[in-house]
């Protein structure tokens, strides 16, 4: 069962946006998806609560007393993680993850936090068994901050899987428990194009 983790110790980088849309993509492809939220803000869990029942099903954790586990029949797990992920919580995530997506925005603070996180991940003993990828979030084209972000990411030994633009599409869809994959493609055509490399990476 593939476990896909969305992580960055910096808060506000778009982890929940990325997690909910990855889960929506996998569900649309016919997989039995669990979206787990281990962030105190519980943004992904709230998104699940808004999701219309007529759409492809995405389940949350199976909670039995103090035991929390993926529901029976789940084939894919997507985990949304909190800011400041470190210590035992991080070790627990790294023990089960197959693919780890690192979202970041074009800001100096995001770059600094991500740099340290990437260095730590690459030095970890499990690093050879984890597929790592970067995703630029809320990217504004033809801005100096975006240019600096692209220059920085070019120095990292990790693939940049997508540059996702700054658009209200994500905000408006999230308010209704929807992902890009739950609306008419013509409505989000440009965004779907930006997701194509990431979509291919997830299917490998």
Domain ranges of the chain: 3-203
| Per-residue pLDDT at 33 | 97
Cα separation of 162 and 104, whole Å?
11
User: What residues contact 7, with CB distance under 8 A and at least 6 apart?
Assistant: 15, 81, 85, 93, 100, 101, 102, 117
| Structural Rg of the chain based on CA atoms | 16
- pTM of the entire predicted model: 0.93
| Per-residue pLDDT at 61 | 84
| For residues 99-125, average pLDDT | 89
| Per-residue pLDDT at 39 | 59
| For residues 124-140, average pLDDT | 92
Q: Which fold has domain 3-203?
A: Rossmann fold (3.40.50)
| For residues 34-51, average pLDDT | 83
| Per-residue pLDDT at 40 | 62
């Amino acid at each position: 069962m593939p476990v896909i983790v969305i992580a960055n110790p910096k808060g506000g980088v778009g982890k929940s946006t990325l997690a909910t849309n990855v889960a929506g993509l996998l569900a649309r492809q016919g997989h039995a998806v669990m979206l787990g939220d281990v962030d105190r803000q519980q943004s992904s869990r709230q998104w699940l609560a808004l999701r219309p029942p007529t759409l492809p099903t995405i389940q949350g954790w199976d909670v039995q007393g103090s035991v929390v586990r993926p529901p029976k029949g789940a084939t894919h797990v997507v985990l949304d993680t909190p800011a400041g992920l470190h210590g035992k919580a991080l070790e627990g995530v790294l023990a089960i993850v197959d693919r780890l997506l690192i979202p970041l925005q074009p800001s100096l603070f995001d770059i600094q936090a991500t740099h340290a996180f990437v260095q730590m991940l690459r030095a970890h003993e499990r690093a050879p068994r984890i597929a790592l990828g970067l995703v630029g979030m809320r990217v504004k084209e033809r801005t100096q901050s975006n240019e600096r972000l692209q220059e920085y990411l070019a120095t990292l030994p990790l693939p940049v899987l997508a540059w996702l633009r700054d658009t209200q599409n994500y905000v408006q869809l999230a308010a209704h428990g929807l992902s890009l994959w739950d609306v008419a493609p013509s409505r989000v055509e440009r965004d779907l194009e930006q997701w194509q490399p990431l979509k291919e990476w997830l299917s490998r």
